[in-house]
Each structure stands twice: as C-alpha cells, then as structure tokens.
Structure 1
C-alpha cells in the first residue's frame, strides 16, 4: 500500500475524554481521521493503551494523545518500567502521536514546574518512545505540544528553543492555536520556522476560536488554507494533522461547536482533504 506524505489528518478534541461523542462530531463535520485526547493528571501513566483515553481509537482512526504523569518521577527515571509497558501495549498497526505535559511552555510561564524539570521529563519519555520504536513500533510518533503563544509573544525561559528536549527525540512539533492570537503566518509562522530549523513536520493538536477576538468564518477558512499549503521540515508536505478544539476551554470557544457556518467550513476541509489514516506517513 502506497503511503501518503501529502496527507493532512483532520480530527477533533471532543468534550468527552472517553470519545463517546466522537461519532456525533464525525457525522457533523467529518470524515474525521484523528482524535485528540489526554489523561487527567490524577490518572498518571495508564497501565495499558486499552485502558487509556486513546484506547477507543484503535481500528477506527489515528490518535494524538498526551498524559500528565508525575513530572519529577518521569524526569528521575522512576516511571521507566511502567512507561515502557504502556508504550508496548499500543498496537503496532495503530498511528499514535504521544506526549506528556502538553503546552509545557505555558505551564512553565505560570509556575506549574521549572523548565529544567520539564525538559528532563520530556527527554526521558521521548527516549523511552525511541526505544519502543526501535523494537518495531513504526506507527508510533513523538510529538512535543506547545502553544502558538510562545511564538507570538516569546518570553525567555519558555521559548520553543528553551523547551526543546534535544536532537533526535521529537518526530513532530505540535502547536495549539486560537483566533485571538492571530491568523495564518502571524499565528503559526514562528512554530513552522522552528520545525523547519529542526527538520521535522508540524501539526496542530488544538485549533479554534478564542473567547475574545474574531468569530468570523473567514478566519477558520484562512487557517485551513494555511495548514494545507504550509510544510514544516522533514519530508511531509503540509501540516501533518489538525484537531478542532470542540469543547469548553479556559480561553476558547467550542469549534466548530453548533455554529452552522463553522460546521460547514470544517466539514468542507474534512471532505476536501480527506486521506485514509492507514495511508498516512510522516
């Protein structure tokens, strides 16, 4: 089967972490080929992929998944065995982008943890993923998930360069972006340039309208145009995937939510750029 480096997977981060509302979203603005999910901090590192919030995706769509295990325990190597068991439980045929502590740049700015702790934990986790990849998990990918905020308003100690865990560890740079921070090159450009500097593709685990700023459907259409025509580094020819953030967030509005114009634009993107996730390759 020929693999497609020109594919962009369109997906969503629905309200229910169990994925029970994914079918409703898929019917509304699909076909959707990836789901964004994450473990609550209290859950730590799951015992297996099947028991994680990403487990329901197997055989149906690709996954972009992240967890919040103890960051100090991960950094110190105390979760190595548990993490390896978890990673090896992911079916080899399943496309999964995995990470820990998504939007770590924002959490560093807000004082949730220190930069050194974050980079040490990320390096440890990605190193374990690399070990499992070498054992035959070719559809398993590491993704560092940051915010466009660090590109549009960089601050020393939490920039893309500051939070980089080291060469050879990150397969994809993921950035979450919202309308109140900009559009097109202004919003995504710094992350794209950083991905190019590291020769890796880029992706968008969360995209949507902010609680403030533009609510015009033109913004949504402009982002689709940018994502589908703008490559990062590596061999992939456009943004690797994008997931609408269709849930309530502290700074965001459910997108496309129940707004008919937004739904129509999201559905058009899914249909126009549809690619079977089984054909996807970075």
Structure 2
C-alpha cells in the first residue's frame, strides 16, 4: 500500500447517525472520504462493528467513531472482553479512528462525570485498542476527542493536559471547533501545540458555524487553508481529517447545510485535497 502521510480526509457528520443521508452529502460537496458517527449512551458498547453506526462505512470510506459505554464499567475493566470482541470485529483493511465519550472535557466541566473516571476509562479503552493493533489491525487508530474551547478558554480540571490519559496511548488528538470560538491559529493553535508536545498528529471530528457570530463563507475557506497547511506532531504533514458538522446542534448551524456558497467551499476542499482513504496512514 502507498503510504500517504500528506493526505487529509474530508468528510461530514450528517444528521442521521446511521448514515442514510450521507450519500446526499457526498453528492452535494464530495468526494467525501470519512464519516463521523457516534453511539447514544443507551446503546452501550456495540456487539460488533457491523452493528454500530459506523458499520455502513466499510468498503466506502474511513470512519471516525466514538461510543458511550458505561464509563465506570470501562474504567473498572469489566467491559474488557466485550470491547475486545467489538474491536476485533472491525475489518483489518478498514481505516477507523475510535474513541469513547467524545468531548469529555466539556462533560467534566458540566459535571457529567469526574476527571479521574474519564481518564481511567479512556486509558483502558486505548490500552485495549493497542492490544488489537498489535494483533494486526494496522489501520485502526485511537483518537481522543476534545473541544477547542478547552484550549482557548482553559479551566483547571478539564485542560488538554488534565484529560490526557498517558503517553503511548493516543494516536491522534481530535478537537471539535466552531466559528463563534475563533478562526485559524486562534481557534486550533492550542490543540496543535498540545498535540505537537505529545508528538502526535491532530484531526477535526467536527467543524462548522456556530449559532452566533459571523457566518461569512471566508471563515470556511480560512479553516481549509489552516488545516491543510498545519502539522502537529508525528509524521503526518497536515491535519489528518476534518468532518463538517452538517447537522443541527445545541451550539451549531448545519455546515455547509444547503447554503450555496458554503456548499461550494466544502466541495472545493473535497476536490482539491482528495485522496483515496485506503492509502491513508498516520
């Protein structure tokens, strides 16, 4: 396989977590080479990759997936066997970035769980992924997904450094960022610097316009320019992937949604930086 460490995968997180609306997004502003998906907490740890919300990606695109299993059970290691079965069910040829409890920093801030519980659970999950990677899953990567807010407005107990699960466990640092928080180096810089300090690449599982603040198309173009020219640590030469958050969220506006100028900007990025997801490596 050609090793393409210069690739940036462009994708989307569509409204339907099962992916039924992804084809329409791909047609509108593709080619898209990765999809962001996640499980609701009620789903726990899926029985298999085929049964989870990322199962439909196999053979079509890469996946950025996160689950919400019982965080106390994961921290206490009672989910080890179930998690290993799930990870081993991922096809070895499939490029997949996997995590649990995305944006854990925000959940610590709002009291959903304690820092110690989060770090213990993420550490155990990453250790289990490391075990499966050693068994031949070379396209499987761990990703810790946090918010840009914790970089731009750090708060003791939920900073990037506080939530770090330990060395040698995270393959790529993912940060979700929105226009009302900033732009370019102001928005992404703290995460890039932290990833660089850990010698790992960075990625953007969610990117889009906030419900407040400017929504000029130039913001999208500026982010594309920054992501495609900025490396963190490790061997990857730019942001590893970015997924437009094309869904209605509590703080966000569907991006690019159906705004013609936004759709055109997303399509330009997908076409100008297109690479085959099967050639992707960190």
Is the pair's TM-score, using the shorter chain for normalization, greater than 0.5? Answer: yes
Structure 2 CA distance, aligned partners of 1:224 and 1:234? 21
In structure 1, the partner of 2:148 is: 148
| 1:121 correspondence with 2:158 | no
Q: Which residue does 1:193 correspond to in 2?
A: 193
Where does structure 1 lack aligned partners over 5 or more consecutive residues?
Answer: none
Residue in 2 that maps onto 1:12 = 12
- 1:212 is displaced (CA, Å) by 0.3
Per-residue deviation at 1:24?
0.1
Inter-partner Cα distance in structure 2 for 1:14 and 1:71: 26
Deviation at 1:214, TM superposition (A): 1.1
Q: Map residues 1-282 of structure 1 onto 2, 5 A cutoff.
A: 1-282=1-282
SS in structure 1 of the partner of residue 97 of structure 2: strand
Structure 2 unmatched ranges of 5 or more: none
**In the comparison of the two structures, how many residue pairs are matched?**
282
Distance in 2, matches of 1:244 and 1:213, equals 18
Query: What is the CA-CA distance between 1:3 and the residue it aligns to?
Result: 1.4
1:224 positional shift: 0.1
Q: Shift in Å at residue 265 of structure 1?
A: 0.2
TM-superposed deviation, 1:237: 0.1
Deviations 1:127-154 (A, max 9, x none): 0000000000000000000000000000
Q: CA deviation at 1:87?
A: 0.2
Q: Distance in 2 between matches of 1:223 and 1:155?
A: 25
Task: Tell me by how many angstroms 1:28 deviates.
Answer: 0.1
Deviations 1:146-198 (A, max 9, x none): 00000000000000000000000000000000000000000000000000000
Distance (whole Å) between structure 2 residues aligned to residue 269 and residue 29 of structure 1: 9
Q: 1:66 Cα shift?
A: 0.1
What is the CA–CA distance in structure 2 between the aligned matches of 1:129 and 1:86, rounded to whole Å?
Answer: 10
Following TM superposition, by how much is the alpha carbon of 1:2 offset from its aligned partner in structure 2, in angstroms?
A: 1.5
Deviations 1:56-84 (A, max 9, x none): 00000000000000000000001000000
Measure, in 1, the Cα distance between the counterparts of 2:152 and 2:259: 28
Alignment partner of 1:180: what SS?
A: coil
Secondary structure of the residue that 1:181 maps to in structure 2? coil
- In 1, the alpha carbon distance for the partners of 2:20 and 2:178 equals 25
Tell me, in whole angstroms, the C-alpha distance in 1 between the residues paired with 2:89 and 2:116: 29
> What is the CA distance between 1:6 and its match in structure 2?
0.2
Structure 2: how far apart are the matches of 1:260 and 1:121? 42
| TM-score, scaled relative to structure 2 | 1.00
Q: Tell me the SS of whatever aligns to 1:176.
A: strand
Question: Deviations along 1:184-239, whole A, 9 cap, x unmatched?
Answer: 00000000000000000000000000000110000000000000000010000000
Cα RMSD, aligned residues only: 0.3
Give the ranges of 4+ consecutive aligned residues of structure 1 lying more than 6 Å apart after TM superposition: none
